[in-house]
Amino acid sequence: MPQRLVDRSPVVPADQLVAQMVPPAMFDDVSFASYIPDPNEPSQAAAVAKTEEFSKRVAKIRAGGRRGLFGKKTQATGAGLYLDGGFGVGKTHLLASIFHSVPSPKAFGTFVELTHVVGALGFNKAVEAFSEHSVLCIDEFELDDPGDTMLVSRLLSELSTRGVSIVATSNTLPGQLGEGRFAAQDFMREIKKLGSIFETIRVDGPDYRHRDLPPAPEPISSEELVARAESVDGATLDNFDELCKHLSTLHPSRYNKLVEGVRAVYIDGVHPATDQSVALRFVVLADRLYDASIPVTVSGARLDAIFTPEMLAGGYKKKYLRAMSRLLALSRFEVATT
């Protein structure tokens, strides 16, 4: 009998929140050499060269410092790099390659994970926890509300002055973060401060996750879904509404543990999410499932129908499109049955 995600209530001790900030397992073995640039997209080869150069700079900053008055050694300001580009062009591959090539301690996490860690630890403890790191790698950088704007601006500015280098990926340029989501002009000073930390490079190209692939599989019947779930060791089977309700009871920093050890996820009765809070929590779940390469199979509506046209036209559009891209990729994964 398959397990249910709704029966899991994982707990993550505070001292493990930073320690678990490493690249997803699918990026364990990536490197600059294993990134294969598209010959039709010259920005990709340029990005590889730039990120490799950045890694060397990070190592020098952490090992060096500079001489101040009276010969006293002070810590150099951290470097900053921002990889801007569309979905599936290999930005996370390059980000993980930087992580693997620089000295420890170091941290890697999505923007959402970072804000959750800071929220759980408190600002001052978060600064101390990251201040000895050579680099903080932030995937899918985004600003969804004024609070996050202020929080991230303060954190990165503080860490940068302590010699921590910052590298981030996003599909929105630093100066445009927050557009369409809140009154960005009221926080433009903070947004510009964030942009000044980074040197921006562009990575162009089509989404590799869907290159030359057939459309996503159609949903299957509830009966077939149950039969498939029962045939896979380590699978979970949940009702969509019950799962969404359960997600609301867990801090998003616990979603990693929620899917830990799961081999395949089966969701019955999928339908469009009419509440934005529900949709945003499902985005976080989709990211954690994608990080762990866990196949997803559903009944009901298609996975690309979870987010309504109104949501896709709003300020969180890019976040929802990224989640759709990842969910469709997971829906194509083959699951080995018992």
Given a cut of 60, whether residue 175 has pLDDT beyond it is no
Query: Of the ranges 140-149, 167-176, 214-223, 225-234, which one carries the lowest mean pLDDT score?
Result: 167-176
Mean pLDDT of all residues in 73-89: 80
Task: Provide the pLDDT confidence category of residue 191 given band limits of 50, 70 and 90.
Answer: low
> What value does the CA radius of gyration of the chain take, rounded to a whole number of Å?
21
List of residues 6+ apart from 183 with CB closer than 8 A? 146
End-to-end CA distance of the chain: 12
Q: What pLDDT does residue 211 have?
A: 54
Q: Is the pLDDT of residue 183 over 50?
A: no
Most confident among 17-21, 93-97, 198-202, 302-306 (mean pLDDT): 93-97
CA angle 287, 205, 57 (to 5 degrees): 75
For the stretch 39-73, pLDDT in tens is 999 999 999 999 999 999 998 988 775 544 555 55
Residue 72: what pLDDT?
56
Q: How many CB atoms lie within 10 A of CB 4?
A: 14
Burial tier of 221 (Cβ tally within 10 Å: 0-12, 13-18, 19+): exposed
Going by pLDDT thresholds of 50, 70 and 90, the confidence category of residue 74 is low
Query: What mean pLDDT do residues 301-325 have?
Result: 86
Q: Directed axis angle between helix 276-291 and helix 317-331, to 10°?
A: 50
pLDDT in tens, 89-123: 889 999 999 999 999 999 999 887 888 888 888 99
Average pLDDT, the chain: 84
Instruction: Report helix, strand or coil for 84.
Output: strand
The pLDDT assigned to 337 comes to 54
8 Å CB contact between 86 and 173: no
Query: Which helix (H) or strand (E) covers residue 177, if one does?
Result: none
Q: Which residues of 29-64 are buried (b: 16+ CB within 10 A; e: fewer)?
A: ebebeebebbeebebbeebbebbbebbeebeebbee
Q: Which residues are CB-contacts of 124 (< 8 A; sequence separation ≥ 6)?
A: none
Write the DSSP assignment of 221-274 as a string of letters: -HHHHHHHHHTSTTEEEEEHHHHHHHHTTS-GGGHHHHTTT--EEEEEEE--B-
Max Cα separation, the chain? 77
**Bridge partner residues of 203 (DSSP):** 85
- Could you tell me the pLDDT band of residue 197, with boundaries at 50, 70 and 90? confident
What's the pLDDT band for 317 if we cut at 50, 70, 90? Answer: confident
Q: Is the pLDDT of residue 127 over 90?
A: yes
Give the number of other CB atoms < 10 A from CB of residue 127.
17
pLDDT tens digits, residue range 136-168? 999 988 765 667 767 888 899 899 999 999 998
| More reliable by pLDDT, 84 or 243 | 243
For the cut 50, the answer to whether the pLDDT of residue 288 exceeds it is yes
Strands (E), the chain: 66-67, 73-74, 80-85, 107-110, 135-139, 165-170, 199-203, 235-239, 264-270, 296-300
Q: Sketch out the chain's domains with CATH numbers.
A: 31-206 (3.40.50.300), 209-331 (no CATH)
Per-residue confidence band for 184, with pLDDT thresholds at 50, 70 and 90: very low
Mean pLDDT of 240-255: 92
pLDDT at 165: 95
